[in-house]
Each structure stands twice: as structure tokens, then as C-alpha cells.
Amino acid sequence: MNFDFSDDQKFLKSEARKFLDANAPTGRVRQVLDDEARPYDQALWKAVAEQGWLGAAIPEEFGGLGLGHLELCVIAEELGRAVAPIPFASTVYFLAEAIQLAGDDRQKAGILPKIAAGEVIGAVATSEGPGVLTPSGVQTSVTGGRLTGVKIPVTDGDIADLCLVLAKENGQPGLFLVDLNGEGVTREPVKTLDPTRDAARLTFKGAPAQRLGAAGEGFALIEQVFDRAAVLLAFEQCGGADRCLEMAKAYALERYAFGRVIASYQAIKHKLADMYVKNELARSNAYYGAWALNTNAPEMPVAASAARIAASEAFWFAAKENIQTHGGIGFTWEMDCHLYYRRSRQLSLVAGAPRVWKERLVSHLERRNAA
């Protein structure tokens, strides 16, 4: 039984934490929060690229470090803990993973090295409006290599260079790569619950698009991309949830009410115990997801769903009850509690809401148990 990260991976994690403590304290995050004109932290993005993290799971032949997904998981956890205001998920978990999964040699050779080098910011665009997107609901379409339609919201759509777009071609869903700096693309920033992460509405009018993967396979492919991203996002969520528990614990141990620290009241003790239990269950599910991701296991859809569901629940609970533990001061702009509350929403929604994943999980279990 060897269900844990290796010593090398744990060392990478502790180095990542040191790096982010120095380069991404919440004061830096707040510069993005408070400044509408600043969609992300460019200096941090550059520094992260220099660390090689963008290419951690990209093979050496394509300019990456060629480590593996477990290494990416520990980095993700630290980024989540730091509520890092950079387009890491869009670029690495979504775009780079999609290209490694479905790209042809030319696409891999053309794009992956640029991602690893920090020269390309990525985005993925599926949503077209409120509610769940089903295959029949996709309106965006590709004709003659030109893509037309509206995608909203697109995380990092305002700053990305290359966007993966779900669209129909000959009535069948496909995935397409679009150069957002090219012709036929209009970007408008949209305001969201988490201003530390960029989002936009993208309007395509005949934008040149190249297909990624087989024709007609767009929905199956995007599900696989989302599965991979879900595991990595789950580690970000675990990192954020654990940080919330730490904050709540630290505050409860220093805050006095009625002559004693509030951490001595059962209402607070049990609240923190509940957080701890949810966080550990989320972590265990995330580990299983990491194993499935790293071994490309057939259990991947089920493992990724479980990881995402548990991590979303844990981060939501920890983020809201961290504010509650802080009391009034937790509700102020100046305290960092709301950064995590906001990010918990962003991470829960970006790859589809947990209820969508619950349905996906049960469908798979249903098939598995019927077989």
C-alpha cells in the first residue's frame, strides 16, 4: 500500500509553499482584487513560469519538466492555498491537458513548449449562458474553419492567447483552438463573484479555428478534459479549504469572548471538527483522483467526480464557516476570509457545478453496477 505522495513530491510541495509565501502573499492577491484594470498578477505569472511549474506535467520533448501529474497536484494544492491570482488552471489544467490528450504532433509541438515557457495563456470556452450546457444546446458553430458564436463566461478569456472552444461542425460537437489575438474575436470583461480571477464574454465572428481531436467527438473529449482538470482543481480546493481551517483555528485561539478564547466553546470546536472531517474526506478522494489521473485509469470519470464533489463541498463549508468563526470582522473587506469564499465559488463553478458532477458520478455507477 503506497497511497501517498513520495518524499520528492512532498519536498516540491514545501518548496512551492515557500515560493508562494514569498511571491503571492494575500496583499498581492488584493492588488488584483481591488484594481479592476488588473486582471491577473503578471509578475507572479512570470515567476511561476520561471519555476517551471507551467510545464511540470509536460514531457521534456515539448519543453516541460516531464515530471508527472502527481507533481502538478502538489503545486495545485499550494496555488489553491495561496488563492493565486493567475491563469494557471486555464492554461495548465485545461488547455495543456487538452492538447496532451487530443492534440496531434504538430499541435503538441507548436503549443506545449510555449505554454511551458509562459508565452501562451490558455482558456477554455464551453458555457453560452445560464444553466447546464447539453450537447443539443451548443449554438456556437464552425463552418469552413471559421468559428462563430458567443461564449460566456470564459475564465481568463480577457487575457488568454489561445482558447479551446466547444462548437458544432456539421451539426456535431467538436473542440477547436482559436487564437484570441487574431481576427474575428471580440472580448468584453465580465464582473464575477471572484474578481481575483479574470473572466470575459467572447464573441466570435468567423474567427479562424483549428480542430483538436476527432470530428464529432467534442463532448466526449471535453468531458475527459474536465475530468483531468477536476482532479487538479480538487487539489486547489483542498489547499484553500485547509487554509480556511487554519485561519479559523488561529482566530479562534486568539479571540476572547466572555473571558476565554472562543476556541474553548463547543460550538466553535465542533464547527472546526466538522471542517476537518470534510477536508480529510476531500483529500482522500483527491488522492484517489490523483492516482487515477497519473495512471490514466479506467476509473477516471468516477474518481474525478468524487474528487470534485468532495472538494467543492469541503471548500464551500470551510470558506463560509471560516467567516462565521471570525464573526463581524470576518465580514469586512479587509480580512482575507472573503478571498476564500469567492474563490470557493469560482473553483466550484469553473468546470461545471457539483450537481452536474453528481449526476455524472451516479450515471457511471449505475452502468458499472448494472454490468
Partner 1 sequence: MDFNDTPEEAAYRAQVRTWLEANAPKRATGDDLEGGGDSMAASKAWQARKAAAGYAQITWPKEWGGQGGNPIQQVIFNQEEAKHPIPPNPFQIGLGMCVPTVATFADDDTKARFVGPALRGEEIWCQLFSEPSGGSDVAASRTRAVRAPDGSGDWLISGQKVWTTGAQFSDFGIVICRTNPDAPKHKGLTMFWVDMHDPGIEVKPIHQMSGGSGFNEVFFTDVRVKDSQRLGAIDDGWKVSLVTLMNERLAVGGASGAGWAQFMEAARNLPGLDGAPALKDQALREKLADWYVQAEGLKHTRNRTMTALSRGQTPGPESSIGKIISAVQMQELAHAAVEMLDQYGIINDPALAPLHGAFQSSLMFAPGLRIAGGTDEILKNIIAERVLGLPGDIRVDKDVPFKDMPTGR
Residues of this chain that bind a second copy (CB under 8 A):
265-267, 270
Could you say whether residue 2 binds partner 1 (CB under 8 A)?
yes
Return the number of the residue (5 or 62) whose C-beta is nearest partner 1.
Answer: 5
Contacts of 27 (CB under 8 A, 6+ apart): none
Contacts of 82 (CB under 8 A, 6+ apart): 20, 21, 24, 26, 29, 239
Q: Do the beta carbons of residue 120 and residue 114 sit within 8 Å?
A: yes
Could you say whether residue 187 binds partner 1 (CB under 8 A)?
no
Instruction: Choose from partner 1, a second copy, none: what does 298 bind? Cβ within 5-8 Å by kind.
Output: none
The partner residues of 146 in beta bridges, in order of sequence, read: 143, 208
- Helix 266-295 and helix 69-81: axis angle, to 10°? 150
Among 192, 203, 220, 223, binds partner 1 (CB under 8 A): 192
Which residues between 9 and 68 bind partner 1 (CB under 8 A)?
none
Q: Do the beta carbons of residue 307 and residue 264 sit within 8 Å?
A: no
Instruction: Choose from a second copy, partner 1, none: what does 274 bind? Cβ within 5-8 Å by kind.
Output: partner 1
Instruction: Choose from a second copy, partner 1, none: what does 215 bind? Cβ within 5-8 Å by kind.
Output: none
Could you say whether residue 127 binds partner 1 (CB under 8 A)?
yes
Q: Do the beta carbons of residue 206 and residue 184 sit within 8 Å?
A: yes
Cα–Cα distance measured from residue 291 to residue 299, given in angstroms and rounded to the nearest whole number? 10
**Closest C-alpha to 155, from 53, 61, 236, 211:** 236
Instruction: Choose from partner 1, a second copy, none: what does 369 bind? Cβ within 5-8 Å by kind.
Output: partner 1
How many residues interact with partner 1 (rule CB under 8 A)?
Answer: 102
Side chain identity, residue 46? K
CB of 212 to a second copy, least distance (A): 42
Cα–Cα distance measured from residue 298 to residue 213, given in angstroms and rounded to the nearest whole number? 20
Among 76, 247, 316, 318, binds partner 1 (CB under 8 A): 316
Q: Which stretch binds partner 1 (CB under 8 A): 50-58, 129-137, 167-175, 204-212?
A: 129-137
Q: Do the beta carbons of residue 127 and residue 351 sit within 8 Å?
A: no
Could you say whether residue 109 binds partner 1 (CB under 8 A)?
no
Return the number of the residue (89 or 262) whose C-beta is nearest a second copy.
Answer: 262
Q: Do the beta carbons of residue 25 and residue 71 sit within 8 Å?
A: no
Return the number of the residue (136 or 266) whose C-beta is nearest a second copy.
Answer: 266
C-alpha cell, 116: 511551458
Among 31, 203, 210, 264, binds partner 1 (CB under 8 A): 264
Binding mask 68-107 for partner 1 (x = CB under 8 A): --x-------------------------------------
Cα-based distances in Å from 54 to 23, 164, 188: 16, 17, 26
Binding mask 195-234 for partner 1 (x = CB under 8 A): ----x-----------------------------------
